[in-house]
Amino acid sequence: MTNTSLSEKSLNNGTSDIEKEDLGDEISLEPYDPSKISIDHQNVNLGSIIENLQHNEIRLDPEFQRLGDLWSDSKKSQLIESILLGLPLPSFYFSEEDSGRWEVVDGLQRLSTFKSFIVDKTLSLHGLEFLKEYEEKKYDDLSREDKRKISGFKVNLYLIKKQTPKNVKFLIFKKVNTGGIILTPQEMRHALNQGTPAILIKELAESDEFKKATDNKVPSKRQEDRDFVNRFVAFYILGYTDKYGGNLDEFMNTGMGEISKLRENELNSLRENFKAAMTLSHKVFYRDAFRKKLTPKDNRKPISKALYDSISVNFAWLSSEERKKLLFKREEFKKNLMLLYADNEETFLKSISTGTASTTSVKNRFEKIKSIIIKTLASDN
């Protein structure tokens, strides 16, 4: 097998300017104790959910609210029509936060509809299939009887209690989040890690250093940029050996949660080292940072997440002086990187191309990048 054949296989599957990643088979790191999973099932009046919305007891994150608003007004109107007709709705799923507020797991679009029609009173009904006489009506135009019908409408509600472990909540998110707009894993992590973790990840994703290093090619849509940053943070804080067990999703969940345990000076250090790593990556590779450039004349490839994590985290672990020295020797470093690509056994190229989430691949690529950094810094050239 040649380097080219492997690289072509992995590089031609990319969407946009980010290479589609072959993670391989991810394993669950630990069995979960069923006794720790607490889910409360309730059959409630819709009016009680509306009241929760009015008192801000259900957290409709502004970013997720935009996803909810992807429903057209006619589709929202038809939901209200279904309630007036007495047709059953799918169950709602919520996750209880430490503060007692509820985070939406499944049902965001329906809740957004209730908010716009009943709470904010901005939605006018149109595009109705049966109740044509309700066309153009707003909530205040409804009769008292119709309002009581909406308020007394019965819905099923499942509440994941706050004592349920966060990784279990994440798995439940994935299993039940089946609506029209399915949350990405990073959006789920964002929902489960409010406060400092979510704020820091967002800040770093919006930093000029990150945007410059990735040539503004990692979109913010669906939090893909934050997924990159979260990946960096997890490996930066937890390392790539003892605490990594082969499930990248669980590892990133844990890594984001670890942010809340950091002291202020540790947060500042993380922030500074991330930006320094991004700056160094850009200065060493320019617009080819985190892209597989197998030869000096190779065509520009999509961004590789596996190359991104192994290079950026290793750069972040360097001292300021080591970064300066590596920048001075950047041409030598790039030559050493191309030698890794050209390795006859293709162990490094495989580690950033296929089964990238396996413990073997992660350890291989991190240690190979570390080795050429050491080699470059130690040379007399």
User: Each residue's pLDDT tens digit in the chain (381 positions)?
Assistant: 333 333 333 333 334 688 887 776 655 545 556 666 788 899 999 999 999 999 999 987 655 545 555 688 999 999 999 999 999 998 998 988 888 889 888 888 899 999 999 999 999 999 999 999 999 999 999 999 999 999 999 999 999 888 887 777 777 777 776 555 667 889 888 877 878 999 999 999 999 999 999 999 999 888 999 999 999 999 999 999 989 999 999 899 999 999 999 999 999 999 999 999 999 999 999 999 999 988 888 888 999 999 999 999 999 999 999 999 999 999 999 999 999 998 867 789 999 999 999 999 999 999 999 999 999 999 877
Residue 2 is predicted with a pLDDT of: 35
Question: pTM score > 0.85 for this model?
Answer: no
- State the burial class of residue 35 (Cβ atoms within 10 Å of its Cβ: 0-12, 13-18, 19+): exposed
Residue 344 is predicted with a pLDDT of: 66
In this structure, what are the phi and psi dihedrals at residue 94, rounded to the nearest 5 degrees?
A: -130, 155
Residue 4 is predicted with a pLDDT of: 36
CA distance 237 to 312: 13
What's the 3-state SS for 181-235?
Answer: CCCCHHHHHHHHCCCHHHHHHHHHHCCHHHHHHCCCCCCCHHHHHHHHHHHHHHH
| Contact yes or no for 50/151 (Cβ under 8 A) | yes
Residue 33 is predicted with a pLDDT of: 63
CA distance 186 to 193: 10
The two structure tokens encoding residue 179: 């609506």
Which residue, 112, 115, 118, is CA-closest to 140? 118
Q: Where are the domains of the chain?
A: 3-29+193-378, 38-163
Length of the chain measured in residues = 381
Q: What is the pLDDT of residues 272-287, one digit of tens each?
A: 999 999 999 999 999 9
